[in-house]
Structure 1
Amino acid sequence: MQVAQLKEDIQSYAKEIGIDKIGFTTADVFTELKERLRRQQELQYQSGFEKGSIEERTEPKRLLPEAKSIISIAVAYPQKMHDAPRSTKEERRGIFARASWGIDYHVALRERLNKLSEYIQTKYPDAVNKIMVDTGELSDRAVAERSGIGFSGKNTSIITPEFGSFVYLGEMITNIPFIPDSPVEESCGDCTICMDACPTGALVQGGQLNAQRCIAFLTQTKDFLPDEFRSKIGNRIYGCDTCQQVCPYNRGIDSHFHQELEPEPESAKPKLKPMLHLSNKEFKEKFGYMSGSWRGKKPLQRNALIAIGHYKDKSAIEDLIKVMNNDPRPVIRGTAAWSLGKIGSPKAYEAIISAMEKETDSQVLFEMEKGLSFQKQS
């Protein structure tokens, strides 16, 4: 079969299996990205979640020696939640970022890429394909940009003309020499809305992110959250959408194309107090299908504690005291004490003082002192 015809067939089949956009590029080295990654490393802007060396992340042939092309795919996901539950004074709620609303996107995209690979194999039996979704070495965004899926915005997201930046990305390296598509020529121009809106100044310049300051990254860490970021997190349980929500390219876009990517409202916008007491089994049952569960319940419970403090939710005092006194994890005990201090009632302060008498962990004691210091400030 001619490669040009195969490309057309793949494009048609991609639509049938729920791929919203597909692009093709060469397996050449990503030279510009290599320099950017080196600069990121020098500045210590990396998150630590990146996989592989800089060479593996920019040289496709290190991952598949016979590589000739890369196929990039994009799947659009919703921007708005229908029938979203309201947060009330009695039942405060947190929020997961939109990228974690439906079924884990790694599963959704891998399923589509596997089908695509099997289809290619029937048409081109000598095909050798390697699939990656987010956790692979290659940069999904760099591949998507070069494949014509969209352009790289100043918020470091790929922005597609059709679906804005609310798209999941994945790719397949292959030994088939497809004719590459042309990159999208749009750009952000002089717009800096996302940079100005970033709560922590993580977008240090157009297209460069200091992951160590990015709320999306910080919500996934497992240690005590640095003080300067606690007031910035608000009620975010996982991820952050600010730089996408303010983007002009996302205005009026809300893609509801795939049922499995639709949010389950009680999971995507969960009640905060029940989150504090989840067993591992209950956590997996409620949140395990979402990509936001990948780091386990500890970071999400820590963020829920911070959100309760942010709300100054007096109805949660008993829950916080129970966590502070009984939870075996220092980060959770300490953050509960901090949150009690933020709420600031006499009962909260008395509970902290009482708990300090039996607490032995120095970091937890430090957080308890912080909690008590809010009384002196008020």
Structure 2
Amino acid sequence: MDIHELKEDVKAYAKEIGIDKIGFTTPDVFTELKERLRTQQDLGYQSGFEKGSIEERTEPNRLVPEAKSIISIALAYPSKLKDAPRSTKDDRRGLFCRASWGQDYHDVLRDRLNKLGEYLQGRVSDFYGRSMVDTGELSDRAVAERAGIGFTGKNTNLITEEYGSYVYLGEMLTNIAFPPDEPVEDSCGDCNICVDACPTGALIEGGQLNAQKCIAFLTQTKGFLPDEYRGVIGNRLYGCDTCQTVCPKNKKKHNLIHAEFQPDPEKVKPSLKPLLSVSNREFKETYGQMSGSWRGKKPIQRNAILALAHYKDETAVDELIRLMTQDPRPVIRGTAAWALGKIGNPSAYTAIHEAKAKETDDEVVGEMDKGLALL
């Protein structure tokens, strides 16, 4: 079999099944990434969502000993929301980041990788492949960068020439020794816009991210949001796009390509107040197919409370008092108490005092004290 011919056939088939970019690289150790990960670990910059040890994340043959190459794929996703509902005084809206628009990208990319695997199985009798999308040990971005899909910008996102950084990534470790592609040259140059624009200063320097300070990470946590970030989360319910939207490489990149990723405006920019009382079943039915639902409704509800506080929405006071006094979850009770103080409605003062007298959770009492201090 001519391996170069097979590679060209795979590229053609990838285009047929809706893969926007495909690249090939070796399973060699990701030496530079390994050092960067060690630095992140030493500095406490990791999110805690990472899978596997540093060695497993940077040495592909630890995962698949027989791997001779890695196939990287990219699918572009949209950056513009058509017919977006307006946020009004009586109907404040939250926002899911672009990477959570449409159908969960994990499912879509796995489907494309499965089809690619089936194709290779039909061409190579002893074919073996193991696919990963985001939740595997390997860094999707590092694989894609070495496979020539794009380069890593100072915002730590992979940037492609055709689609900017609005791309989902996945890869397949395979026992087929495909000729590797050449990496793309970094072209950020002196531009530092994303680093300067980061709301929390999470971009320490070009290509270095403190995940503990990144809003995209913070919106996915389940505990109380640290005080210093409550004023910058704004109306974000899941994720943050600031470092992408300010990037000159993303200018005029709309990427309205895949039907699966077309957003439902009411889902990605939902009314905040209904989120406070949504049931588990309703949440799953409405948001379950979005990648932003993976942590469940609790973080989304907490973030919705903070967004209402950001807007100082007095129409939400009664519902926030209900949450503060009746919700079984301490994080929701406490965040509601803090939000009442932030909104500043006079009726909240008595409500917090009365609730505090009955509250048994020390952290919630602390949040109630913060709310009273704000009032």
TM-score normalised by L of structure 1: 0.98
Matched, 1:70 2:95: no
1:120 corresponds to: 120
Residue number in structure 2 paired with 1:195: 195
Contact 1:129-1:175 at 8 Å conserved across structures = yes
| Aligned equivalents of 1:158, 1:15: Cα separation in 2 | 20
Structure 1 segment 162-177 matched on structure 2, within 5 A? 162-177=162-177
Aligned to 2:29: 29
The alignment status of 1:220 with 2:220, answered yes or no, reads yes
CA distance in 1, matches of 2:274, 2:46: 33
Which amino acid in 2 is paired with 1:262?
A: Q
- Partner Cα distance (1:172, 1:111) in 2: 12
Q: Distance in 2 between matches of 1:274 and 1:125?
A: 54
Q: Indicate conservation of the 8 Å contact 1:152/1:187, yes or no.
A: no
- The amino acid of 1:21's aligned partner reads K
3-state secondary structure, aligned to 1:257: coil
Report the TM-score when normalising by structure 2.
0.99
Do the aligned partners of 1:19 and 1:73 also contact (CA within 8 Å) in 2? yes
**Residue identity in the other structure for 2:55:** E
Q: C-alpha separation between the residues in 2 aligned to 1:120 and 1:85?
A: 45
Could you tell me how far 1:187 is from its partner in structure 2?
2.0
- Aligned equivalent of 2:49: 49
- Is 1:10 the counterpart of 2:10? The answer is yes
The whole-number CA distance in structure 1 between the counterparts of 2:117 and 2:125 is 11
| 3-state SS, counterpart of residue 357 of structure 1 | helix
Give the Cα separation in 2 of the matches to 1:28 and 1:365. 53
Matched residues, number: 375
- Give 1:186 shift: 3.4
Whole-Å separation in 2 of the counterparts to 1:5 and 1:251: 36
Please tell me the residue identity of whatever aligns with 1:60.
P
The corresponding residue for 2:281 is 281
- Separation in 1 of the partners of 2:47 and 2:199? 17
Question: Structure 2: which amino acid aligns with 1:136?
Answer: G
The residue that corresponds to 1:241 in the other structure is 241
Mapped to 2, the partners of 1:351 and 1:260 lie a distance apart of: 45
TM-align CA RMSD:
0.6
Q: Return the alpha-carbon distance in structure 1 between the equivalents of residues 148 and 258 of structure 2.
A: 22
Unpaired segments ≥5 residues, structure 1: none
Shift of 1:254: 0.4
Tell me, yes or no, if the aligned pair for 2:153 and 2:186 is still in contact at 8 Å.
Answer: no
Structure 2 segments unaligned to the other structure (5+ residues): none
Which residue does 2:132 correspond to in 1?
132
**2: distance between equivalents of 1:186 and 1:362?**
50
- Counterpart of 2:307 in structure 1 is 307
Q: Is the 8 A contact 1:144 1:150 kept in 2?
A: yes
For the residue of structure 2 that corresponds to 1:282, the secondary structure is helix
| Residues 152 and 186 in structure 2, CA contact (< 8 A), matched pair in contact too | no
What is residue 351 of structure 1 aligned with on the other side? Answer: 351
Q: Does 1:341 align with 2:341?
A: yes
